[in-house]
Amino acid sequence: MTFAATVLTLYPEMFPGPLGVSLAGRARDEGKWSLETVQMRDFAIDKHRTVDDTPAGGGAGMVLRADVLAAAIDYARTAHPDAPVIAMTPRGKPLTQARVRELAAGHGVTILCGRFEGFDERIFAGRQVEEVSIGDIVLSGGEPAALMLLDACIRLLPGVMGAPSSGSEESFENGLLEYPHYTRPQEWEGRAIPEVLRSGDHAKIAAWRKSQSEIDTRLRRPDLWERHEGARVLPASGARREKKD
């Protein structure tokens, strides 16, 4: 099955960009995923091909028009009715590896790239669109965020990644950061590779990696650690313990 990516954008020339090389580029050449860009301006309804207008209530910047967005979405939906439509916006739900996995297991994705101040909010009531953010930062547009989302999906498609295990052991797959890696030379600028990794004792190495993964997550990402610990102590039903007054 080919994973079909459709990107609705004002800047189609930004694609495939980095997805045209390396792993993703090769996978696309091999037909494991496809990319179609759709110029949103083609769905404008005036002779100037206007896609945006001033914000209601005043303020800086411009807002993408709901009618133009809807026409572009409807066009993409006709070709790919099963693909979820995702709008890249800093107001969206933070992207997670779990959601990436779900998307990668599907038929593809249609991505709406915002520009200017964002989308007319009515598009989210008028069409089924999932709002997704790639982090608490503000980009100049949704295109780099779309490239990130697609990159994360493409590497998980069957046959794209070299070693199959590298997808399941890595950061976030078990709610933790991945353990640190080392390679030759054995000593570099007076720093040695941890002895255990040279021991050949696979059980010991696995235990060390697990422990490092836990330590690093606790120190670097207390938010992830808290969630991980919370999931571990909660009963299987997910029910929360009654809080005492």
Binding site for ligand ADE (CB under 6 A): 88-90, 114, 133-135, 137-139, 142, 145
- Residue 35's CB is within 10 A of a number of other CB atoms, namely 19
Whole-angstrom distance, CA of residue 60 vs CA of residue 132: 23
Could you tell me the smallest distance in angstroms from the CB atom of residue 152 to ligand ADE? Answer: 13
Rank residues 92 and 225 by Cβ distance to ligand ADE and give the closer one.
92
We find the least distance from the C-beta atom of residue 59 to ligand ADE, in angstroms, to be 17
Nearer to ligand ADE, 44 or 139 (CB): 139
CB of 115 to ligand ADE, least distance (A): 9
The full 3-state SS of 135-196, as one line of letters, equals CCCCCCCCHHHHHHHHHHHHCCCCCCCCCHHHHCCCCCCCCCCCCCCCCCCCEECCEECCHH
Yes or no: say if 109 and 86 are a contact pair by the CB < 8 Å rule: yes
Q: How far is the CB of 65 from ligand ADE (least distance, A)?
A: 18
Nearest to 107 by CA among 9, 32, 166, 160: 32
Q: Toward ligand ADE, which CB reaches closer, 114 or 175?
A: 114
Phi, psi dihedrals of residue 89, rounded to the nearest 5°: -155, 140
Task: For the chain, give the number of residues.
Answer: 245
- CA 83/CA 190 separation, integer angstroms: 52
Nearer to ligand ADE, 89 or 213 (CB): 89
Give me the least distance between CB of 232 and ligand ADE, in Å please: 30
**C-beta closer to ligand ADE: residue 33 or 119:** 119
